[in-house]
């Protein structure tokens, strides 16, 4: 089987690329190499005969048509994903997360034999009040430009599936974490700040809950989805969540404790505007298919924190885009350095 993986140099995409190549797949990795992409993420496979890298944009219709034309399945991980950046610069989210998906759909409608697996997010539902869990048929209510761009992409997918009889799988996942995640995201950021003995900027009261899944468990879920791709036209959505919902403050404290750093480093700062209080997925459909996360949050977090402790300094020297400038823009005022 030959997969076209978009965004395969990013965090989740690269974990999937390495897994597929290791298991005999041919993989074409199409990545624009934005700030969030890192060549180090695919260094292990870069010379593999079943791996091909193409630097390019999913908004490039001709390129996408050519690559979709030689693939059995398209896995779309290409996206702008950081909520805070979507507040600073929403336009790029609309372009990549919505227009890019339309380009993929345009190419796919000419290739009825090629399947699409699209990565989406629990954030399309907005905040989910306790004790509710979002089922696959819940109405969208996105709060951030990022979440709205992912919801819009899903609506375009639905429209194409209806109009052209395409069979598409949408994987909506909770917050994913693990080694090689970009430094701007919560767990890597807090781990690196704790390691450096620097203030860890906790938004608002820190009682927002996130559902956390270790990246390897998501890869297993995607692999299971690939084993049972739908043939009937329409959108099949599946929720991939761990069920482990943790308040941000508690996660921050665990990171301090794992590293033996004082919890006083946790520094409340001005909240993110429109910050969702809680995400929670009902993942029973995936569990009925036989999937279950292998790692508890505490285990995955310990492993991740160890990885950043041992490799974080070297990791921070690999491509992290404009992280220093972004950090100053996002946190300078919040941490009172202006
Ligand atoms: P994040 O990793 O940005 O994922 P998302 O916003 O998509 O859930 O953030 C996870 C949680 O951590 C979220 O509730 C926001 C919070 N957070 C902070 O409190 N401080 C920070 O500096 C960051 C990046 C996130």
Output the DSSP codes for 300-329. Answer: HHHHHHHHHHHHHHHHHHS--TTHHHHHHH
137 CA to centre of ligand 1 in angstroms: 26
Measured by CA distance, the residue closest to atom 23 of ligand 1 is 186
Average pLDDT over residues 158-187: 97
Q: Clarify whether 51 is annotated catalytic.
A: no
186 CA to centre of ligand 1 in angstroms: 5
CB under 8 Å to 50, separation ≥6 — which residues?
21, 24, 25, 26, 27
Match 């959505």 to its residue by tokens: 237
Q: Clarify whether 146 is annotated catalytic.
A: yes
Q: Is 124 in the pocket of ligand 1 (CB under 6 A)?
A: no
The atom number, within ligand 1, closest to the CA of 84 reads 3
pLDDT band at 320 (very low <50, low <70, confident <90, very high): confident
The structure's pTM equals 0.97
pLDDT of residue 233 exceeding 80: yes
Q: Is 320 in the pocket of ligand 1 (CB under 6 A)?
A: no
Average pLDDT over residues 305-314: 96
Provide the β-strand partners of residue 235. Answer: 168
pLDDT band at 289 (very low <50, low <70, confident <90, very high): very high
Distances in whole angstroms, Cα of residue 282 to Cα of each of 65, 117, 228, 246, 334: 35, 19, 20, 16, 35
Q: Is 201 in the pocket of ligand 1 (CB under 6 A)?
A: yes
Contact (Cβ atoms closer than 8 angstroms) between residue 172 and residue 238: yes
The H-assigned helical ranges of 165-289 are: 186-196, 215-227, 248-259, 284-288
Which secondary structure element, helix H or strand E, spans residue 82, and what is its range? none
Taken in order of first residue, the domains within the chain and their CATH numbers are: 2-177+214-240 (3.40.50.720)
Q: Is 18 in the pocket of ligand 1 (CB under 6 A)?
A: no
pLDDT band at 338 (very low <50, low <70, confident <90, very high): very low
Q: Is 266 in the pocket of ligand 1 (CB under 6 A)?
A: no
CB under 8 Å to 130, separation ≥6 — which residues?
209, 278, 280
185 CA to centre of ligand 1 in angstroms: 6
* DSSP 8-state class, residue 95: I
Q: Is 83 in the pocket of ligand 1 (CB under 6 A)?
A: yes
pLDDT of residue 188 exceeding 90: yes
Q: What percent of the chain has pLDDT over 90?
A: 96
Over the chain, what is the mean pLDDT? 97
Which is the catalytic residue, given 57, 97, 122, 211? 122
Indicate the SS3 state at residue 286.
helix
119 CA to centre of ligand 1 in angstroms: 19
Q: Tokens representing 303?
A: 């492993």
Q: Clarify whether 328 is annotated catalytic.
A: no
């Amino acid at each position: 089987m030959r997969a076209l993986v978009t965004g395969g140099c990013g965090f989740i995409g690269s974990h999937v690329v390495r897994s597929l190549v290791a298991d005999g797949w041919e993989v074409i990795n199409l990545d624009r190499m934005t700030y969030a992409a890192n060549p180090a993420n695919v260094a292990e496979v870069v010379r593999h005969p079943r791996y091909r890298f193409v630097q390019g944009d999913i908004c490039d219709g001709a390129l996408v048509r050519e690559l979709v034309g030689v693939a059995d399945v398209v896995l779309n991980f290409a996206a702008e994903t950081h909520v805070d950046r979507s507040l600073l610069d929403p336009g790029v989210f609309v372009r990549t997360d919505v227009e890019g998906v339309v380009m993929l759909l345009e190419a796919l409608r000419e290739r009825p034999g090629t399947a699409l697996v699209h990565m989406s997010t629990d954030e399309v539902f907005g905040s989910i009040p306790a004790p509710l869990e979002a089922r696959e048929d819940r109405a969208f209510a996105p709060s951030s430009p990022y979440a709205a761009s992912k919801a819009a992409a899903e609506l375009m997918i639905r429209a194409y599936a209806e109009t052209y009889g395409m069979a598409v799988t949408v994987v909506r996942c909770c917050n994913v974490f693990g080694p090689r995640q970009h430094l701007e995201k919560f767990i890597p950021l807090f781990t690196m700040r704790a390691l450096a003995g620097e203030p860890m900027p906790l938004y608002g009261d820190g009682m927002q809950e996130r559902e956390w899944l270790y990246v390897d468990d998501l890869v297993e879920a995607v692999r299971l989805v690939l084993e049972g791709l739908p043939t009937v036209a329409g959108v099949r959505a599946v929720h991939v969540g761990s069920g482990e919902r943790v308040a941000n403050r508690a996660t921050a404290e665990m990171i301090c404790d794992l590293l033996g750093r004082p919890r006083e480093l946790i520094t409340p700062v001005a909240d993110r505007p429109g910050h969702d209080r809680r995400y929670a997925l009902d993942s029973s459909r995936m569990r009925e298919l036989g999937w279950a996360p292998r790692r508890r949050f505490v285990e995955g977090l310990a492993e991740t924190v160890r990885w950043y402790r041992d490799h974080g300094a070297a990791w921070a020297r690999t491509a992290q885009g404009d992280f220093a400038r972004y950090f100053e823009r996002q946190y300078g005022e919040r941490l009172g350095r202006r």
